[in-house]
Amino acid sequence: MALLQIAEPGQSAAPHEHKLAIGIDLGTTNSLVATVQSGEAKTLTDFDGSAMLPSVVRYEADKITVGQAAAAASAEDPTNTLISVKRFLGKSQAEIEQSYGQLPYEFVENNGSLAINTLVGAINPVQASAEILKSLKERATASFAGEDIKGAVITVPAYFDDAQRQSTKDAAELAGLNVLRLLNEPTAAAVAYGLDSGQEGVIAVYDLGGGTFDISILRLNQGVFEVLATGGDSSLGGDDFDSALVAHFKEQTQINDLNNSELRLFINKAKACKEALSSYETVNVGLELRDTAHTVTVTRAQFAEMVMPLVKKTLRACRRAVKDADVSHEEILQVVMVGGSTRMPVIREQVEVFFDKKPLTSIDPDRVVAIGAAIQADILVGNKPDSDMLLLDVLPLSLGLETMGGLVEKIIPRNTTIPVARAQEFTTFKDGQTAMSLHVLQGERELVDDCRSLAKFSLKGIPAMAAGAAHIRVTFKVDADGLLSVSAMEKSTGVQAEIQVKPSFGLSDDQVAQMLKDSMSNAKEDMQARMLKEQQVEALRVLEALEASLSTDSQLLSDDELAALRSEMQKLADLRETAISPDEIKTAIEAVDAASSEFASRRMDMSIKQALTGQSVDEV
Amino acid sequence: MHYFELFDIPVSYDVDLNAINTRYLELQRVVHPDRYAGKSEREKLLAVQKAAEINDALAVLKHPVKRAEYMLSEKGKDIRAEQQTLQDPMFLMQQMELREALEDLPQSNDPEAAIEDFEQEIKLLDKQYSAQLSSQLSSDDDAQLDAAADNIRKLKFVYKLRDELARIEDSLFD
Identify from B34, B62, B173 which residue to disrupt to test chain A contact, counting A C-beta atoms within 10 A and taking the largest count: B34
Q: What is the pLDDT, as a whole number, of residue A148? A: 87
Phi, psi of A420 (to 5 degrees): -145, 145
pLDDT digits (tens, 9 = 90+) for A522-576: 555 566 777 788 888 888 888 888 888 898 888 999 999 999 999 999 999 998 8
Q: Count CB-CB contacts under 10 A for residue A328.
A: 9
Tell me how far CA of residue A6 lies from CA of A9, A79, A569, in angstroms: 9, 57, 22
Q: Which CATH architecture has domain B89-173?
A: Up-down Bundle (1.20)
Q: What is the pLDDT, as a whole number, of residue B85? A: 66
Residue of B nearest to A323 (CA): B166
Say yes or no to pLDDT of A261 above 90: no
Identify from A380, A409, A427, A587 which residue to disrupt to test chain B contact, counting B C-beta atoms within 10 A and taking the largest count: A380
**List A207, A239, A393, A481, catalytic entry:** A207
Topology adopted by domain A21-237+305-394? Nucleotidyltransferase; domain 5 (3.30.420)
- Residue ranges in chain B modelled with pLDDT below 50: none
**Residues B98, B121 contacting (CB under 8 angstroms):** yes
**Residues A442, A397 contacting (CB under 8 angstroms):** yes
Rg (CA), chain B: 20
Q: What is the pLDDT, as a whole number, of residue A467? A: 81
Q: Is B81 on the interface with A (CB under 8 A)?
A: yes
Integer Cα distance of A552 and B166 in angstroms: 51
**Residues A417, A394 contacting (CB under 8 angstroms):** yes
Q: To which CATH superfamily is domain B2-62 assigned?
A: DnaJ domain (1.10.287.110)
Contact A391 B173 (CB under 8 A): no
Domain-wise residue ranges, chain B? 2-62, 89-173
Integer Cα distance of A243 and A247 in angstroms: 6
Q: What is the pLDDT, as a whole number, of residue A497? A: 64
Integer Cα distance of A297 and A393 in angstroms: 45
Q: What is the 3-state secondary structure (H, E, C) of chain B?
A: CHHHHHCCCCCCCCCCHHHHHHHHHHHHHHHCHHHHCCCCHHHHHHHHHHHHHHHHHHHHHHCHHHHHHHHHHHCCCCCCCCCCCCCCHHHHHHHHHHHHHHHHHHHCCCHHHHHHHHHHHHHHHHHHHHCCHHHHHHCCCHHHHHHHHHHHHHHHHHHHHHHHHHHHHHHHHC
Phi, psi of A442 (to 5 degrees): -130, 130
* Contacts A537 to B, Cβ<8 Å: none
Integer Cα distance of B102 and B114 in angstroms: 9
Q: Which of A17, A33, A250, A7 is nearest to A133 (CA)?
A: A33
Q: What is the pLDDT, as a whole number, of residue A258? A: 84
> Which of the 8 DSSP states describes residue A112?
T
Rg (CA), chain A: 26
Q: What is the pLDDT, as a whole number, of residue A457? A: 78
Phi, psi of A121 (to 5 degrees): 110, -175
Say yes or no to pLDDT of A27 above 60: yes
Domain-wise residue ranges, chain A? 21-237+305-394, 238-304, 397-506, 513-611
Identity at A289, one-letter amino acid code: L
**Residues B148, B68 contacting (CB under 8 angstroms):** yes
The residue that leads in pLDDT, A137 or A495, is A137
**List A77, A161, A173, A185, catalytic entry:** A185
**Residues A199, A329 contacting (CB under 8 angstroms):** no
Average pLDDT rounded to a whole number, residues A482-503 = 75
Integer Cα distance of A312 and A335 in angstroms: 17
Identity at A67, one-letter amino acid code: G
Average pLDDT of the residues of chain A: 88
**pLDDT over 70 for what percent of chain A?**
93
- Annotation says A326 is catalytic: no
Contact A380 B49 (CB under 8 A): no
* pLDDT category of residue A128 using cuts at 50, 70 and 90: very high
* Helix, strand, coil tally for chain A in percent (to 5): 40, 25, 30
Say yes or no to pLDDT of A359 above 60: yes
Q: Which CATH architecture has domain A238-304?
A: Alpha-Beta Complex (3.90)
Q: What is the pLDDT, as a whole number, of residue A50? A: 92
User: What residues pair up with A231 in beta bridges, in sequence order?
Assistant: A215
Residue of B nearest to A224 (CA): B25
Contact A480 B49 (CB under 8 A): no
**DSSP secondary structure of A33-69:** EEEEETTEEEE---TTS---EE-EEEE-SS-EEESHH
* pLDDT category of residue A620 using cuts at 50, 70 and 90: very low
- Annotation says A62 is catalytic: no
Average pLDDT rounded to a whole number, residues A327-344 = 95
pTM equals 0.87
* Contacts B28 to A, Cβ<8 Å: 224, 390, 392
User: What residues pair up with A485 in beta bridges, in sequence order?
Assistant: A477
Q: What is the pLDDT, as a whole number, of residue A608? A: 85
pLDDT digits (tens, 9 = 90+) for A432-483: 888 888 888 998 888 888 888 888 877 777 888 888 888 888 888 999 999 9
Q: What is the pLDDT, as a whole number, of residue A273? A: 94
**Residues A374, A32 contacting (CB under 8 angstroms):** no
Q: Which of A492, A508, A491 is nearest to A500 (CA)?
A: A508
Topology adopted by domain A513-611? Substrate Binding Domain Of Dnak; Chain:A; Domain 2 (1.20.1270)
pLDDT digits (tens, 9 = 90+) for A212-241: 999 999 999 999 999 999 999 988 999 999
Q: Count CB-CB contacts under 10 A for residue A559.
A: 8
Say yes or no to pLDDT of A12 above 50: no
pLDDT digits (tens, 9 = 90+) for A387-417: 889 999 999 999 998 887 888 888 999 999 9
Q: What is the ipTM of this complex?
A: 0.85
- CA–CA min distance A257, chain B (Å): 34
List CB contacts of A392: < 8 A, sequence separation 6 or more.
Answer: A224, A225, A226, A227, A417, B28, B32
Q: What is the pLDDT, as a whole number, of residue A272? A: 94
pLDDT digits (tens, 9 = 90+) for A178-192: 999 999 999 999 999
Identical fold, B2-62 and B89-173: no
Q: How many CB pairs under 8 A join A and B?
A: 112
**Residues A167, A125 contacting (CB under 8 angstroms):** yes
Q: What is the pLDDT, as a whole number, of residue A4? A: 46
- Annotation says A593 is catalytic: no
* Contacts A316 to B, Cβ<8 Å: 173-174
Among A319, A601, A610, the residue with its CB nearest the CB of B46 is: A601
Residues present in chain A in total: 620
Q: What is the pLDDT, as a whole number, of residue A437? A: 82
Identify from A397, A420, A546, A572 which residue to disrupt to test chain B contact, counting B C-beta atoms within 10 A and taking the largest count: A420
Domain A397-506: which CATH class? mainly beta
Q: Is B34 on the interface with A (CB under 8 A)?
A: yes
Identify from A180, A390, A535, A572 which residue to disrupt to test chain B contact, counting B C-beta atoms within 10 A and taking the largest count: A390
Average pLDDT rounded to a whole number, residues A513-529 = 66
The dihedral sign for the CA sequence A226, A333, A378, A188 = positive
Integer Cα distance of A452 and A468 in angstroms: 30
Average pLDDT rounded to a whole number, residues A353-359 = 95
- Annotation says A86 is catalytic: yes
Q: Count CB-CB contacts under 10 A for residue A600.
A: 23
The three-state secondary structure class of A407 is strand
**Residues A313, A236 contacting (CB under 8 angstroms):** yes
Q: What is the pLDDT, as a whole number, of residue B92? A: 86
**Residues A469, A428 contacting (CB under 8 angstroms):** yes
Among B29, B33, B40, the residue with its CB nearest the CB of A593 is: B40
- CA–CA min distance B174, chain A (Å): 6
Contact A545 B42 (CB under 8 A): no
Contact B29 A611 (CB under 8 A): yes
Among B37, B46, B170, the residue with its CB nearest the CB of A604 is: B46
Say yes or no to pLDDT of A10 above 50: no
Integer Cα distance of A470 and A448 in angstroms: 26
User: What residues pair up with A447 in beta bridges, in sequence order?
Assistant: A407
Say yes or no to pLDDT of A616 above 60: no
